[in-house]
Amino acid sequence: MSQLNTFKRHRRLRSSAFMRSLVRETHLRTEDFIFPMFVIEGENVKNEVPSMPGVYQLSLDLLLDEVREVYELGIKSVIFFGVISDKDEIGSEAFSDNGIIQEATRLVKKEFPDLLVVADTCLCEYTSHGHCGVIHNHDVDNDESLELLAKTAVSQAAAGADIIAPSNMMDGFVSVIREALDEAGYSNIPIMSYAVKYASAFYGPFRDAADSTPQFGDRKTYQMDPANRLEALREAESDVAEGADFLIVKPALSYLDVLREVRDNFNLPVVAYNVSGEYSMVKAAAQNGWIDEKALVLEKLTSMKRAGADLIISYFAKDVAKWLKENE
Ligand code: PBG
């Protein structure tokens, strides 16, 4: 035939499962995942989050069972969020030595010393108004909030947290937290900065899970406008300059372009946060029988790695670990 060499035979490399596996460019590994967990006050509490089927708020006495499962699946890291009822204007529970995250961290590190505990450093789960910092004149006071965040980070490190993950989006949080950690003797504790965090409707179910919905207004004066790409690079750049060790891009799915740019422009490990809304949408569709959950979850998590993520924070982490084991 005369069309020889006039077109390319791409399908040669897709001819069988083994061939496809041989040329696959992106791989998910259980070690890539950080599993988020909600720790709630009380005893013997295991509440399924209504908008997040399969995700639970667990009291301290039940926490270890789930952590053991995570550990045995080969997941190397968890991130904790606290759920409390006794909140105040400044979020005192966030930086109390006996705060719920501090307690959870001590407990888990005692039982699983090598499991990496990431502490989410924010005030919104602990403030009565639900904002991520101190409020003055109906807006968050950036610099006053920094001091409390630094205290929170130090108390989390003192409880044994391996990584500090500030998520509150105040300007300067990385430098203030770095300085406070260093002064307190924690210069070896890395900062995983939520460097690029958009003001996103995809956080809706999380606010149910962590009871952290702002009581007035929204987070748009501190979280980023979803329309902006260059601003993401400015945010990442300043966090790198201030001493971040990891950069988080959040949410993940609608921001794969941003993830790629952050990967291409900086040389720190990049973390994608596959957020609550991304989880809930899949679960809802799966429960209706509208999609193939396993195939869809693996596809979308793979797309995050293809876009440049080194690590993924995901409520699907346990499922993925199980699926990957099945395929071994
Ligand atoms: C706290 C925080 C939020 C998330 C992680 N840390 C909520 C928010 O900023 O409103 C969202 C995570 C998710 O949706 O899964 N600041």
Ligand 1 atom at minimum distance from 279 CA: 15
Q: How far is CA 258 from CA 14, 196, 228, 235, in A?
A: 30, 9, 9, 12
> In angstroms, what is the span from residue 139 Cα to ligand 1's centroid?
19
The pLDDT value recorded for residue 133 is: 86
Of 286, 315, 289, 252, the closest CA to residue 49 belongs to 315
The pLDDT value recorded for residue 215 is: 85
109 belongs to the catalytic site: no
> In angstroms, what is the span from residue 315 Cα to ligand 1's centroid?
13
Identify the three-state secondary structure at position 180: helix
The pLDDT value recorded for residue 23 is: 98
The pLDDT value recorded for residue 216 is: 85
Q: Which of 8, 76, 87, 197 is catalytic?
A: 197
Identify the three-state secondary structure at position 14: helix
For residue 205, what are its two tokens?
């179910």
318 belongs to the catalytic site: no
The pLDDT value recorded for residue 283 is: 98
Q: Which residues contact 194 (CB under 8 A, 6 or more apart)?
A: 165, 166, 167, 168, 169, 248, 250, 273
Q: Which long-range contacts (CB under 8 A, 24 or more apart) does 238-242 make?
A: 238/171, 238/174, 239/174, 239/193, 239/195, 240/195, 240/266, 240/268, 242/172, 242/174, 242/175, 242/178
CB atoms within 10 A of CB 187: 9
> In angstroms, what is the span from residue 25 Cα to ligand 1's centroid?
31
Task: Evaluate: CB of 209 within 6 angstroms of ligand 1.
Answer: no
The pLDDT value recorded for residue 239 is: 97
Residue keyed to tokens 């450093």: 121
For ligand 1, atom 7: residue with the closest CA: 203
The pLDDT value recorded for residue 2 is: 58
Task: Give CATH for domain 26-326.
Answer: 3.20.20.70
Q: What is the pTM of this model?
A: 0.96
Task: Evaluate: CB of 276 within 6 angstroms of ligand 1.
Answer: yes
Task: Evaluate: CB of 192 within 6 angstroms of ligand 1.
Answer: no
The pLDDT value recorded for residue 206 is: 93
Q: What is the pLDDT along the chain (328 residues), one digit of tens a residue?
A: 556 678 999 999 999 999 999 999 999 999 999 999 999 999 999 999 999 999 999 999 999 999 999 999 999 999 999 999 999 899 999 999 999 999 999 999 999 999 999 999 999 899 989 888 888 888 888 999 999 999 999 999 999 999 999 999 999 999 999 999 999 999 999 999 999 999 999 999 998 898 888 888 888 888 999 999 999 999 999 999 999 999 999 999 999 999 999 999 999 999 999 999 999 999 999 999 999 999 999 999 999 999 999 999 999 999 999 999 998 7
Task: Evaluate: CB of 152 within 6 angstroms of ligand 1.
Answer: no
The pLDDT value recorded for residue 132 is: 86
